[in-house]
């Protein structure tokens, strides 16, 4: 079953048995990273005193642990995956469709004399004759388990184990296949960015990986998956492409369909020092090709604007790419002081690829609203940052701020000053003030509704 892309929520394919009048921003987000490392369990029956004590093992976990010690001995340290759905060193999953689960245990061996810990290892156990039995054991790269997950890449159940190296930006990745009662390693590599998705809509997931190649002094994007060409099926590297030299770290991947077998991939990346860009690749028949559009869709970030990503902002199936510019009157200021306009570009794929601008917007610093700048305002109106989370849209005349065209405030309650009106639904925190008098550039009510878009809170329906 194929899943349609939703840019707000990338689908996780776990193994478990008319255009609107107002363009809607679908996936702009403020970039954040949450890391909650869990402590490791070093003794089987450890004390439960203290906040960092490991949890007591269940009956099933105790049976699995006893079977493990019969196979490897008692000098071991159980390892907890740091993130993902499976956070226990004991991972139960039905990999063969039989009545019972198989078990995977992550651990380190410890020297009986010095107590020094060895490398990461993974043990597979199965139920045989009513008892747990260790059937295979293998080593893993890295110093800590980051994530374990299960996917079908087209050749049965696959176990993916991601592990990290102490003080290193790369993670290690092992892809294993379960067959004949054992785990067999299909693919092993390192990466700095990974996304898992059915890139080519063939019904199975592929791995999209990015890593740094010191020899080429560039990041390399790789597509890894099950090859289905005439010479036979195999799991491995399908294609790769070099990325722009200014890529420091990749943050997000977004896909756009061109036709039945062709797609565009949008890689949002950081250049460092609050500078960002987007690398575009074409994907045809599992072949990646980097597309060069000169400046690389450069954008900046400061305290006046959130971090922005490429996304289908109006739901038409076309991905828009954000590019920032200083607004009128702010060109000569330093980047931290600037108010920034965001223009959204699209890729035209008729014949030779080209790009064109689609929207010009102002986005509030806390990402509460997006203001679509009307064409008749462009080149004449700028913004003026005021107190109390207020922004004035003002005429820019003779290198100075002039008449106020509209004021927008983010507030928990109706402002005490006169003239403010609540805008949006009952949960909205947006208030507007229109200027008194007749101004040629002033908004009509209909224009305001088509230009000021309130960003829904996470979990709200648009």
Q: Among 21-35, 61-75, 216-230, 411-425, which is the least confidently predicted range? A: 21-35
Q: Among 14-28, 75-89, 186-200, 289-303, which is the least confidently predicted range? A: 14-28
Higher pLDDT, 310 or 261: 310
Q: Among 88-92, 96-100, 123-127, 129-133, which is the least confidently predicted range? A: 96-100
* Per-residue pLDDT, 55: 67
Spatial strand order in the sheet of 421-423: 381-385, 390-397, 400-410, 430-433, 421-423
Q: Among 87-96, 231-240, 259-268, which is the least confidently predicted range? A: 231-240
Which of the four pLDDT bands, split at 50, 70 and 90, describes residue 318?
Answer: very high
What residues have CB less than 8 Å from 254, skipping those under 6 apart?
Answer: 7, 27, 265, 266, 268, 309, 310, 311, 312, 319
Q: Among 56-60, 143-147, 272-276, which is the least confidently predicted range? A: 56-60
* Per-residue pLDDT, 165: 94
Fold of 57-191: Lipocalin (2.40.128)
Which of the four pLDDT bands, split at 50, 70 and 90, describes residue 30?
Answer: very low
Which of the four pLDDT bands, split at 50, 70 and 90, describes residue 33?
Answer: very low
Which of the four pLDDT bands, split at 50, 70 and 90, describes residue 1?
Answer: very low
Residue 217 reports pLDDT greater than 60: yes
281 in Cβ contact with 250 (< 8 Å): no
Residue 182 reports pLDDT greater than 50: yes
What residues have CB less than 8 Å from 181, skipping those under 6 apart?
Answer: 96, 126, 135
308 in Cβ contact with 325 (< 8 Å): no
In order of 9, 86, 320, 337, 342, the CA distances from 324 in angstroms are 25, 40, 13, 14, 5
- Going by C-alpha positions, the residue among 164, 177, 57 that lies closest to residue 105 is 57
**SS3 for 71?**
helix
> What is the residue extent of each domain of the chain?
57-191
CA–CA gap between residue 323 and residue 356 (Å, rounded)? 12
Residue 357 reports pLDDT greater than 80: yes
Higher pLDDT, 437 or 427: 427
Residue with tokens 């255009």: 19
CA–CA gap between residue 153 and residue 63 (Å, rounded)? 32
Higher pLDDT, 80 or 57: 80
In order of 169, 170, 258, the CA distances from 268 in angstroms are 18, 18, 19
Specify the long-range contacts of residues 232-240, CB closer than 8 Å, at least 24 apart. Answer: 233/154, 233/155, 235/153, 235/154, 235/155, 235/175, 235/177, 235/186, 235/187, 236/186, 236/187, 238/206, 238/286, 238/287, 239/286, 239/287, 239/288, 240/288
**SS3 for 29?**
coil
Residue with tokens 């293998």: 138
pLDDT in tens, 111-168: 655 555 578 999 999 999 889 999 999 999 999 999 999 988 877 789 999 999 999 9
Residue 85 tokens, joined? 């759905």
Global model pTM greater than 0.95: no
* Per-residue pLDDT, 113: 59
Q: Among 44-53, 184-193, 245-254, 345-354, which is the least confidently predicted range? A: 44-53
Mean pLDDT of 196-214: 91
Residues of the chain with pLDDT > 90, as a percent, come to: 60
Other beta carbons within 10 Å of 449? 13
Q: Among 41-50, 329-338, 410-419, 444-453, which is the least confidently predicted range? A: 41-50
Mean pLDDT of 357-366: 94
Residue 274 reports pLDDT greater than 50: yes
* Per-residue pLDDT, 459: 53
CA–CA gap between residue 157 and residue 146 (Å, rounded)? 20
Strongest mean pLDDT among 217-231, 292-306, 315-329: 315-329
Instruction: For 39, list phi and psi in degrees, rounded to 5.
Output: -75, 155
Residues of the chain with pLDDT > 70, as a percent, come to: 84
Mean pLDDT of 40-46: 36
pLDDT in tens, 281-296: 999 888 999 998 877 7
Residue 400 tokens, joined? 């100075």
């Amino acid at each position: 079953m194929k899943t349609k892309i939703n840019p707000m929520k990338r689908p996780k394919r776990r193994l478990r048995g008319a255009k609107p009048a107002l363009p809607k921003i679908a996936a702009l987000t403020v970039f954040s990273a949450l890391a909650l490392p869990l402590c490791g369990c070093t003794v089987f029956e450890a004390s439960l005193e203290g906040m960092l004590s490991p949890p007591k093992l269940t009956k099933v976990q105790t049976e699995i642990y006893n079977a493990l010690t019969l196979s490897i001995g008692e000098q071991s340290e159980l390892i907890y995956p740091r993130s993902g759905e499976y956070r226990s060193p004991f991972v139960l999953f039905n990999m063969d469709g039989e009545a019972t689960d198989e078990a995977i245990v992550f651990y380190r061996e410890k020297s009986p004399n010095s107590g020094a810990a060895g490398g990461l290892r993974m043990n597979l156990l199965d139920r045989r004759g009513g008892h747990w039995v260790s059937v295979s054991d293998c080593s893993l790269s890295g110093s800590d388990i980051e994530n374990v997950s299960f996917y079908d890449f087209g050749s049965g159940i696959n176990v993916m184990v991601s592990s990290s190296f102490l003080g290193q930006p790369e993670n290690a990745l092992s892809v294993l296949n379960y067959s004949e009662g054992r785990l067999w390693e299909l693919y092993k590599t390192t990466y700095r960015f990974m996304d898992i998705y059915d890139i080519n809509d063939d019904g199975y997931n592929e791995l999209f990986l990015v890593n740094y190649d010191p020899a080429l002094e560039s990041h390399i994007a790789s597509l890894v998956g099950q090859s289905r060409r005439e010479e036979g099926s195999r799991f491995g590297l399908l294609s790769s492409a070099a990325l722009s030299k200014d890529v420091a770290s990749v943050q997000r991947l977004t896909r756009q369909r061109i036709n039945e077998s062709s797609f565009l991939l949008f890689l949002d990346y950081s250049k460092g020092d609050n500078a960002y860009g987007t690398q575009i690749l074409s994907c045809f028949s599992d072949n990646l090709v980097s597309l060069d559009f000169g400046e690389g869709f450069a954008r900046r970030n400061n305290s006046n604007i959130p971090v922005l990503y490429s996304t289908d902002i109006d739901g038409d199936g076309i991905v828009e790419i954000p590019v920032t510019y200083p607004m009128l009157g702010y060109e000569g200021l330093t980047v931290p002081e600037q108010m920034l306009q965001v223009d959204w570009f699209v890729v035209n794929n008729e014949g030779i690829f080209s790009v064109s601008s689609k929207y010009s917007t102002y986005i509030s610093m806390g990402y509460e609203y997006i203001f679509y700048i009307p064409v008749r305002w462009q080149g004449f109106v700028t913004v003026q940052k005021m107190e109390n989370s207020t922004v004035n849209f003002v005429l820019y005349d003779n290198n100075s701020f002039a008449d106020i065209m509209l004021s927008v405030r983010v507030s928990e309650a109706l402002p005490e000053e006169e003239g403010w009106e609540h805008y949006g639904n009952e949960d909205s925190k947006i208030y507007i003030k229109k200027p008194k008098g007749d101004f040629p550039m002033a908004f009509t009510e209909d224009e305001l509704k088509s230009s000021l878009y309130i960003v829904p809170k996470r979990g709200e329906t648009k």
